[in-house]
Amino acid sequence: MRIAHLCTFWPLTAGLSHYADSLIHGMRASRPERHIVLGEMGSLAAETEAYECLPCYRRDEDYVNSVVEAARAKKVELLVIQYANDLFGDDHRLPRLLAALRALGIKTVVNTHSVYPAHWRTGYKPGRTAGDFDHAMGEHASLITVHSQRMKSDLASRGLVPERIAVIPHGTPTMTVLDPLESRAKLELPAQAKIVLFFGFIWPGKGIDFLLKVFRDVQRQVPEAFLLVAGHTRRRLWGSYVDYLKLRARLMGLASHSRFWGGYVAEDKVAQVYSAADVVAMPYLQEYSSASGVVHQTAAMGKLMLCSRIAKFDEVETGIDPGLTAPASDRAAWTHAMVRLLRDKAWGDQLKTKILDFAEATSWANVGKMHWEHYTRLMAEDRREDR
């Protein structure tokens, strides 16, 4: 099977670059075939044992013909599109691309990482809503893959055929667990603190302002608690939001009990940051169904986590333990749960066992195998139709 991935790719360090690279290696654990990457301009034209990358499109242009010609030239049989609306838009281009590829006999899989509320505005006509766009995407794609049952239900409610939607978890990476004390020393963090970590992109929807209030309450009960906010913003405008958060922390008396990283966390520092933490906090406020790469990184490190009880973290509540979630914006519930995670070692050890089991079940090798199973079934259906 000549399989290609349409996405952004190295050396571009967007989340989809990490995802596509991990998926390719996870799939190769079952079948060591070389994959094709049809990359965004800026990706490196390269050939390795695992993949051949061909930069061929620009997100700010009408990319349909460029992608179709690249897929035709590489004799692609199945194209996996790592969809994000900031990469491929929510207008007519993606549905047109899917239709054009189908006309060439190329099977398409749209791996969509977020399902937005049906009424949200888009550039797709007629209707101009996320529901209209998703319906058009489902009409032309051979298969839609999502990361949770909630995401599938949301799409099915918009008229997409449930049998053409497959639930495949986000993969969990293999990460090296480092010595916590050595990690703290290298990061200049207090050795004996109970460290609460926020990791990832910083914007208002991540609920960090709320987390500061929770942490102040936690710190009153756990004086050795320390908050580390490790991440950066993707838009210049949000830089002022980080300045606001720093000021808030000072005004709340948390200056000596917190630290803001101040920028992008380099790859060689990621395991060190996680290793230094006791609990990873994800107080997000997002109104859509999705999955979290931070959850899977945290699970890979065997670390405790506390997440908002929202659709994005369904897999934490159902796949690990409800005790690792708390109602979004419920300050008292968040404070109670965080204090218990920091103080109750026996309970924490039980949860860590469940977290590690989840990490194994969703390893990239296992997730890659799931992708192969669905893709093989899809191609087999095509052959039966041709008889």
Whole-angstrom Cα distance, residue 198 to residue 120? 28
Summarize the confidence of residues 250-254 as an average pLDDT: 96
- CATH no. of 180-361: 3.40.50.2000
> What percent of the chain shows pLDDT beyond 70?
97
Per-residue pLDDT of 120-149, as tens digits, reads 999 999 999 999 999 999 999 999 999 999
Cβ partners under 8 Å of residue 346, min gap 6 = none
Burial track 205-234 (b if 16+ CB lie within 10 A, e otherwise): ebbbebbbbbbbbbbeebeebbbbbbbebe
Q: Please give the share of the chain, as a percent, with pLDDT higher than 90.
A: 90
> What is the CATH topology of the domain spanning 3-171+364-386?
Rossmann fold (3.40.50)
Do 5 and 36 meet the contact criterion of CB atoms below 8 Å apart?
A: yes
Q: State the average pLDDT for the chain.
A: 95
Residues 80 and 374: their CA atoms lie apart, in Å, by 12
Of the CA atoms within 13 Å of residue 96, those in its CB half-sphere come to 14
Q: Tell me, what's the pLDDT at 232?
A: 80
Q: Does position 385 have pLDDT exceeding 60, yes or no?
A: no
Rounded distance, CA 57 to CA 65, Å?
A: 9
Q: Which helix (H) or strand (E) holds 305?
A: strand 304-308
pLDDT band with cut points at 50, 70 and 90 for residue 83: very high
In the chain, residues under CATH classification 3.40.50.2000 are 3-171+364-386, 180-361
pLDDT digits (tens, 9 = 90+) for 93-128: 999 999 999 999 999 999 999 999 999 999 999 999
For residue 346, the surrounding DSSP H or E stretch is helix 345-361
CB 348 within 8 A of CB 304: yes
Terminal CA-to-CA distance of the chain, rounded, Å? 19
> What pTM, to 2 d.p., does this model score?
0.93
The reported pLDDT for the residue numbered 231 is: 85
Q: What is the CA radius of gyration of the chain?
A: 22
- Mean pLDDT value across residues 291-314: 97
Cα–Cα distances in angstroms (integers) from residue 94 to residues 15, 70, 253, 296, in the given order: 20, 15, 49, 28
- Identify which of 323, 320, 322 has the alpha carbon closest to the alpha carbon of residue 353: 320
What is the per-residue pLDDT across 4-60, written as a single tens digit (0 to 9) for each? 999 999 999 888 999 999 999 999 999 999 999 999 999 999 999 999 999 999 999
Helix, strand, coil share of the chain (percent; to 5)? 50, 20, 30
pLDDT of residue 15: 84
**Whether residue 11 has a cis bond before it, omega within 30° of 0:** yes
**Residue, of 155 and 382, whose pLDDT is higher:** 155
Q: What does the H/E/C string look like for 25-41?
A: HHHHCCCCCCEEEEEEE
Q: Nearest CA to 338 among 207, 318, 330?
A: 330
**Confidence (pLDDT) at 67:** 98
261 or 132: which leads in pLDDT:
132
Q: Above 50 in pLDDT, residue 387?
A: no
Query: What is the rounded average pLDDT of the residues 275-286?
Result: 97
Q: What is the dihedral of CA 258, 262, 263, 268, to 10 degrees?
A: -50
pLDDT tens-place string over residues 166-195: 999 999 999 999 999 999 999 999 999 999
